[in-house]
A and B are shown apart, each in its own frame.
Chain A
Amino acid sequence: MRIGDKLENLNPQVFAEADQRKENPSDWDDAVRDPFDGREVFDLIRSIRDPEHPLTLEQLNVVSEEQCEVDDAGNHVKVLFTPTIPHCSMASLIGLSVRLKLLHTLPCRFKVDVVITPGSHASEAAINKQLADKERVAAAFENPDLLSVVNKCIAPRPLAASVG
């Protein structure tokens, strides 16, 4: 990935991170089934890193909890993501990273749609179509160069001292 010469978005706006999820005593009760919800999907994707900046998708407000729609009973997850600028050429890559992370972590019963927030990208129809085409996505992940870039975005960061 050419993070060399020129970053597309030199001064991205950085957002504050969301708080920890509020706990419920029933969360610790094994007899009670905790359904998947938007917060859980958000927790899975929030720390995916942007390909260009050393910031997470959460910090760039590319993904947010409100934009993770989950229908647990209907086995459907829809994630909307907002590229930081309308001509962002990383949009496909970000979409692929979200797809791969969810492919690795969600139970296979879920049908997942990863879609650009309407109105936020110049080529959103074309990119949405590519991200929805599972054959294209599968072939892309068989490309070792592309896969290694995506894996770098998904890989967990070494813990910082301020973990709390």
Chain B
Amino acid sequence: MSTAIATLTGHKDRVWNVAWNPKGTILTSCGSDHSIRLWSKEGDAWVCKTVLSEAHTRTVRSVAWSPSGSTLASASFDATVNIWDCREENIECVATLEGHENEVKSVAWAASGALLATCSRDKSVWVWEVAEDDEYECVSCLPSHSQDVKKVVFHPTADILASASYDNTVKLYREECDDWSVFCTLSGHESTVWSISFDSSGHRLASVSDDRTVKVWQEYLPGNKEGVATPEGAPVWKCVCTLSGFHQRAIYDVSWCSLTGAIATSCGDDCIRIFKEQPNSDPNAPVFDLLLTIQQAHAEDVNSVTWNPTVVGLLASASDDGTIKLWDFSHIF
């Protein structure tokens, strides 16, 4: 099936990111036209319900929903992150997080909903604590990368944070004695790491890069049976699989489905690809098969892909061509 089930138009410039709310009923998109759009299904059609266009003065690069589904965060090149209260029909901006020196590239919520992370071209990752009444307090500024930080994601259950950077590495952070710090650096990519995604267990992480490869990293805890050394009692992450030769240009985003275990990638060659681990793979050297390549998924670079958290096989993608597409891949599972 290489035709989309829906094409959503409305953005006036490239769309950078798409994100589903936790219930999977609302798709949020953002882009270079400085706006955020919320789309939901009305009958058989997907309709744009809300356009938030006044709050950011430059490109909106990324949007993320809190686990409760009541709050949306948006990160912008204008160096701010806006927090939106989505409980009512009328969505309002209730807080603006300032502090980064330049473009904010990504924002992510912890599973508990009590923490938020942001990252920027200023090379730092900031961790914010969410207090009541829309109060956000920065509890840590982590200047750990040596270059522009492209993406932050939280572990699906624990308070572990991962960041991907122009410096070709991924870093993992955790809180120890009231302070956040890096406990592991994943090196191996030969160019900018654009995006990362944990699997549903949180023991594996997929990373995609400008070097046109996908890498799968696995966690080895202290006392692991494989005999992997874990210095200082910290978990160690190793690259257990590299998928190369499939993508023709930089890979901008990856989404690891929590329902099916499938990995979707969005690439600068206009294609979307779906990979899945072979059923009897060696857990320490897993083999991933390319299940499907959608050629010309969009007319230009595909910047973002995200699996719906509740509907199996439903994928959203966003592109430089200004459109968002919805795909139904349920038949391949």
Residues of A at the B interface (CB closer than 8 Å) are: 108-109, 111, 129, 132-136, 138-139, 142
Contact = CB atoms under 8 A, between A and B. Distances in A.
B269 to A, nearest CB: 8
B191 A111 contact: no
A135 B150 contact: yes
Given A129-B166, A132-B210, A139-B102, 4 more contacts: A133-B166, A133-B192, A138-B14, A142-B77
Contacts of A109: 299-300
Interface string B41-79: 000000000000000001101000000000000000100
Per DSSP, chain A at the interface is helix
A136 B148 contact: yes
Given A138-B32, A139-B121, A108 B105 contact: no
28 contacts: A108-B299, A108-B300, A108-B320, A109-B299, A109-B300, A111-B249, A111-B268, A111-B269, A129-B166, A129-B191, A129-B192, A132-B210, A132-B250, A133-B166, A133-B192, A133-B210, A134-B268, A135-B61, A135-B105, A136-B121, A136-B148, A139-B59, A139-B77, A139-B102, A139-B121, A142-B58, A142-B59, A142-B77
Contacts, number: 35
A25 B321 CA distance: 36
A109 B268 CA distance: 11
B271 to A, nearest CB: 12
Contacts of A129: 166, 191-192
Given A108-B300, A129-B191, A133-B192, A138 B59 contact: yes
B192 A108 contact: no
A142 B13 CA distance: 13
A93 B148 CA distance: 19
